[in-house]
Amino acid sequence: MATLLISDLHLEAQKPEIGEQFLQFLSNDANDADALYILGDLFEVWLGDDDPNPYYAGMKTALRRFTDTGVPVFFMHGNRDFTIGEQFAAETGVSILADPVIVNLHGHEVLLSHGDALCTDDVQYQQFRLMTRNPDWQAMMLTKSLQERIAYATAVRQESVARGGEISDEIMDVNQEAVRALFREYDADTLLHGHTHRPAVHDVDLGDRIATRIVLGDWYEQGSVVRWDENGPRLESLPR
Ligand code: MN
């Protein structure tokens, strides 16, 4: 049995091949997993749990069917789907995790994060993140109509793309000092995150020890998964 970790699928109706691969992943790879962790940006844009988007409704149904088989599913917010809330959790059966969080994977204490908070070189984005992760701001946004939320999300995307902050292959990488600070704050040996779309396993020199930073890839061209079993973690790409 293995624990599976994925992130950055960016599911959307306009890219059905990603969703198809995700559904296959749920019914094949993940079927005999002991748990599945989704570390953010499962969806390209989440307007709120009240969004009737039929494509996302289909994905919620698939998640519900999957959690009904008894495999625990944990979800952490990404920068695209940070308004996923309790209604989504109730509908799908997933449990929402804080970011960051330490979990025990087959005897290893592992620090999990989406990863966007580590991209501290993007000062403008960090200001945006601070604002939008505020519960008052989110409550205010969720009182707006879906049309207003779509307009807001579109404007944010355009602004982000215009300044090169988040185009798929130009998305900013993590700041190394922010990474080391997070390792020290949580006294962690292993950090696993997504967001940067740069799948890799890195050694991180903390001075007194070497830690490991595992980065999940996105699902634009193939799947990306960390399979963690009694032999430790393996970062794999899943051919489409
Ligand atoms: Mn992200």
76 C-alpha to center of ligand 1: Å? Answer: 11
- Judged by DSSP in three states, 206 sits in coil
pLDDT(6) > 50:
yes
Predicted local confidence at residue 168, as pLDDT? 43
More confident residue, 205 or 163: 205
CB within 8 A of 146, min separation 6: which ones? Answer: 47, 48, 50, 51
- Quick one: pLDDT band at residue 217, thresholds 50, 70, 90? very high
Please write the tens of the pLDDT for every residue from 116-132: 999 999 998 999 999 99
116 C-alpha to center of ligand 1: Å? Answer: 6
Tokens representing 216 are 């999940």
- Judged by DSSP in three states, 57 sits in helix
What's the CATH fold of domain 3-238?
Purple Acid Phosphatase; chain A, domain 2 (3.60.21)
83 C-alpha to center of ligand 1: Å? Answer: 13
Maximum pairwise Cα distance, the chain: 52
- Quick one: pLDDT band at residue 170, thresholds 50, 70, 90? low
Rounded average pLDDT over 195-207: 97
pLDDT(36) > 70:
yes
CB within 8 A of 31, min separation 6: which ones? Answer: 69, 71
Predicted local confidence at residue 176, as pLDDT? 96
CB within 8 A of 112, min separation 6: which ones? Answer: 5, 37, 39, 76, 97, 99, 100, 101, 102, 103, 191, 192, 193
Q: What are phi and psi of 99, to 5 degrees?
A: -125, 115
194 C-alpha to center of ligand 1: Å? Answer: 7
208 C-alpha to center of ligand 1: Å? Answer: 31
Rounded average pLDDT over 65-75: 98
220 C-alpha to center of ligand 1: Å? Answer: 13
Give me the helix-helix angle, 54-68 and 16-27, nearest 10°: 10
- Judged by DSSP in three states, 217 sits in coil
pLDDT(169) > 50:
no
Residue bearing tokens 């799947």: 223
pLDDT(39) > 50:
yes
Average pLDDT, the chain: 95
Rounded average pLDDT over 6-10: 98
217 C-alpha to center of ligand 1: Å? Answer: 11
pLDDT(159) > 90:
no
- DSSP symbol at 43: B
CB within 8 A of 137, min separation 6: which ones? Answer: 131
DSSP assignment of 132-189 equals HTSHHHHHHHHTS-HHHHHHHHHHHHHHHHHTTSS-TTTPPPPPHHHHHHHHHHHT-S
pLDDT(166) > 70:
no
Where residue 19 falls (left for φ over 0; alpha for ψ -120 to 50; beta otherwise) is alpha
